[in-house]
Chains A and B, each alone.
Chain A
Amino acid sequence: MQLRLNEDQELFRRTVRQFLEREAPLTTVRQLTDDPAGFDRGWWRKGAELGWTSMLVPEKHGGGNLSGEGLRDLAIVAEEMGRLVSPGPLLPTSVVLGAIAEATTVEAHSEAIERLLTGDAVAAWCAPAPGAAIAVTARPDGDGYRLDGVAEPVEAGGEADYLLVTARTDGGLSQFLVPAGAGGLRRDRLDGLDLVRRFARLTFDGVQVGQSDLVGSPDAAAEAAEHQLQTALVLQAAETAGAIERVLDFTIGWAFDRYSFGRPLASYQALKHRFADMKMWVEACHATTTAAALAVQQRTPDAVELVSVAKAYIGDRATEIVQDCVQMHGGIGVTWEHDLHLYLRRVTTNRVIYGTPNDHRRRVADLLEAADGSAK
C-alpha cells in the first residue's frame, strides 16, 4: 500500500475498495470470463462517477483530482483494482484521456473527452512496447492521412470506442485519435491469459483520418508517446503491487490456519524465511512504484529510467511471489477453484505487456550509456 497518503486520498481509497468489493468481487470477475468485453459498461460508468476517469484531465476540461497530483491519485485506483484483479480498461482509457487532454489539439477532441470522462465511451492505446518497431504508417492523403499496418496486442482494442494510434510518418511520428467505427479498420479479438482483460489485433487498411484527428503536433509526438508509456507503466506497476500485497496477505493467513504435524505452517523456519523474503519484495515493489509515480507526476528527468526500474523489478518479482504463494498453498494452489490463478494470470500478463523485464533492463542500460556519453 502507498504510505503517507493525505486524508482525502485515504478516504478515496476506502471508497474505491468498498465499491470494488461490493460491485466487482472475485465471483463477478469469474462470471465475466465468458463475457466478450470482460467488463460491464454500467459498472464502468459508476466507476467514472467515483472519479476514476477524471484524474488526468484538468478541471477546465471537465476533470479533476484529489491532491493536485492526478497520477498518484489514479495509482490508488490501480492498486485497489490489483487487489481484486478487477475488470475494466482503466489503464488504456486513462492514458488516452491524459494524452488528448494535455495536447495542443484538446479542443478538437472535446466530445471524446466528455464521453470518456462519463464512462459512456472507453479507449485503447495503440503504441508499441519499448524497443519494438511501430508497425502502423500514416501517409498524407488528400486533406488528411491514410493509416496502414497492424497494432498488436492492444488492450481493450476490441471494445474501445476511440483508439489513440501512434504511426510512423516520413518525418517521424504522429498520433491520431481514431473512432472505432472508421472504415478500413479490422478488429480481431485475441485469446488471453487474464480472465477479464481483453486484447485485440487491430489491422489498419487504408483508414482515412483528417487533420482534426491529429493529437498534438507531430514535433511533440515522440515525447508525448514516451509520457504515455510512462503513465501506463506506473498504472501497471501500481496494479501489480496491489495484487501481490493481497496474495501475500491471504497466503500468510493460510499459513497461520493450516496445520501439519500438529503445528501451523507459519511456525516452520524454512517457510518463515520465505515469507520474510516475500514481504521484503512486496515492500520493494511498493517503494519502486511510488518513486516512479512521483517522478512521472512531476516529470523529473529520471522518470524515463525509474519507470523501467519499476517494471524490470516488479515484473520479475511479482510472478515469483505469486508462484511461491501457490507453492505455500499446496495442491489447492494449482486448481481452477482457488483464486490464486486469477492473480497469477494478471501479474503474468502485466509482466510481459508494455515490455518484458529484460526489455526494460536493456532500456536502463541504454540510458546509463547515454548519460555516460554526455558526461564525457
Chain B
Amino acid sequence: MSEDLQAFRLRAREWLAATMPRAEASADDGPGDGRDDEAWVRARELQRILYDGGFAGLCYPQEYGGQGLTPAHQRVFNEEAVGYEMPLLLNVPTFSICAPAILDFGTEEQKRQHLPAVIRGDEVLVQFLSEPRGGSDLAGAITRGTRDGEVFMLNGSKIWSSNAYAADYGLCLVRTDWDAPKHRGLTMLIVKVHQPGVEIRRIKQVNGNMEFCQEFFDDVPVPASDVLGEENGGWAVASRLLFHERTAVGGGSPYVSGPPGVERSGEAEPDLLELARAGDRLTDPVVRELIGESQVLERVADQLAVRVTDGISAGELPDAAASLLRLFMATSNVRRTQIGLEVAGPRAAAWPPSDFRDGGSYGVNFLFRQGASLGGGSSEMSRNLISERLLNMPREYAADRDVPFSQVRQSKTPAR
C-alpha cells in the first residue's frame, strides 16, 4: 500500500519549498539562443537533488533506484512542482521512453547498469530509430549490425534523434538478418554515444531549435551483451518504444516529472490573454472566443490523457489507444498555433527585438506548426494505427510483407 496521496502532496510541497530553486522566466531572446550545454549540466544537477531527496523516478521500482509509487502520485508531484526549476530536459526521451523500454525488455544486468544511473541524473538516453530513408516505415531500417562472434559491427546512419549530442547511450535499431522479412531481421542495441566511429551532426529546424541530430556509424563495435530484448527480436522493442513515445508525446506518461506542458523551466504556456491585452484586442468578442477555445483544447488534452492512461492501465483500453493522445496533441497544436497567430496579429511578423515573447514567438510557433504532426510518428501513422488497431479496420496494403528484406525495393535517393 503506497503513501496516501494527500500526505504525499504535503510532504512533496514542504520538500520542494525547502529544497528546489524557483524557476525564473527564461531570458529567451528568440530561436537558437545557444545555451544548450549549460542547460544539460543543470538538468543533471537538478535530477541529483531530486534523487537525494527521494523524489526521483517516482513510478520506477525501488530495486532500480525509483520510489515504486503510482501514476496518481506522479500527477500530484507534477502539480506541486509548478513554479520550481525542474530537470525537464530529462523527461523525453530518457525517462518516459528509453528507460521504460529497458524496464520492459532489459536483462537484470542491463536494468541494474542503466536505470539507477538514469534516475540519479548520471545517464541520459536517446533513441536511434528513424533513418534518412524515411521515418514512417521504421521497420525498414537499413543500418547494419553485422555479428562477428560476441560483437556486432555497426554501420549506417540514424536521424531525428532528440538531443543525441548530450546523451550517453542510444537505443539503436539495426538490421541483423537481411534474408528474413523486414520485421524479423531487426535487433535493438544499447550503443555508447560518444566513442570512436560515431559522428554526430546537429540539425537546425525552422524555429531555430537544434535539438535534433543525425548520427553516422562507421565500424562501431557493440558487445552482444548490449542487445536489448532478443537478437532479431528488435521490432518488439521498437514497438514498445513507440508506445511509450505516443504516450509521452500525448501527455500521458507516468514517468514524466515536472509541470505539464512545459519543456524547460520558465517556459510558460503561451499567454494569449497578455498578448491580446498588449495588442489592445482583449475586448473583441471574437478574440475572447479564440482565447477560450485555446484554453478548452489545452484542458481537453489533459483530460483525454487521464482517460487514456487510466483506461490502458486498468485494461479497459488497448495500448494502441496511446495513438489517440498523440493525434489529439498534433491536431490541437495546429489549431492553437493558428489562434496564437491570429491573436498576435502583425506583431507575429515584425516585432521589436525585446518583444520576441509577445510577438515573434507566435509567428515562429506557427512556422513550426507541423512539427507536432511529424515527431513521434506522423499523424497519418496515428490515424492508421487508430483505425487498424482500435477500430479493427483492414490493414493498408504493404509490398514488403513476408518478403526477404534484401528483395524489397528501396527509394532511389535518400532524403538526406
Binding site for B on A (CB under 8 A): 3-4, 252, 255-256, 263-264, 266-267, 269, 272-273, 275-277, 279-280, 283-284, 286-288, 290-291, 305-306, 308-309, 312-313, 358, 360-366, 368-369, 372
Contact = CB atoms under 8 A, between A and B. Distances in A.
Contacts of A279: 324, 386-387, 390-391
A313 B300 contact: yes
Contacts of A290: 303, 307
B300 A361 contact: no
A366 B283 CA distance: 11
Contacts of B288: 361-362, 365-366
A280 B295 contact: no
Contacts of A362: 285, 288-289, 292
A116 to B, nearest CB: 32
Given A277-B383, A284-B300, A255 B393 contact: yes
B391 A288 contact: no
Nearest to B390: A279
Contacts of A4: 310-311, 314, 316
Contact of B303 (A252, A284, A365): A284
Nearest to A256: B393
Q: Which of B303, B308, B324, B331 has the most CB of A within 10 A?
A: B303
Nearest to B291: A365
A265 B69 CA distance: 46
Nearest to A290: B307
B396 interface: yes
B60 interface: no
B76 to A, nearest CB: 15
B310 A312 contact: no
20 contacts: A3-B316, A4-B316, A256-B393, A267-B394, A272-B387, A273-B387, A275-B393, A279-B390, A284-B300, A287-B304, A287-B308, A288-B303, A309-B300, A312-B292, A313-B297, A365-B288, A365-B295, A366-B288, A368-B292, A369-B273
A325 to B, nearest CB: 14
Interface residues of B, number: 43
B296 interface: yes
Given A4-B314, A275-B387, A365-B289, A283 B304 contact: yes
A368 B316 CA distance: 35
A361 B393 contact: no
B380 A3 contact: no
Nearest to A5: B316
B20 to A, nearest CB: 21
A276 B295 CA distance: 24
Interface string B251-290: 0000000000000000000000110000000100100111
B306 interface: yes
Interface in B309-360: 310-311, 314, 316-317, 321, 324, 327-328, 331
A184 to B, nearest CB: 37
Q: Which of B295, B311, B316 has the most CB of A within 10 A?
A: B295
B109 to A, nearest CB: 38
Interface string B66-81: 0000000000000000
Given A3-B307, A363-B292, A272 B300 contact: no
A358 B386 contact: no
B299 interface: yes
B393 A267 contact: yes
A305 B296 CA distance: 9
B306 A287 contact: yes
A247 to B, nearest CB: 14
Contacts of B316: 3-4
Contacts of B321: 283
B122 interface: no
A47 B116 CA distance: 58
A117 to B, nearest CB: 33
A361 B296 CA distance: 8
B393 A284 contact: no
Given A266-B393, A277-B383, 15 more contacts: A3-B314, A4-B316, A252-B391, A272-B388, A276-B391, A280-B327, A283-B304, A283-B321, A288-B303, A288-B304, A361-B290, A361-B296, A365-B289, A368-B291, A369-B273
A207 to B, nearest CB: 35
A291 B298 CA distance: 13
A358 B293 CA distance: 8
A283 B386 CA distance: 12
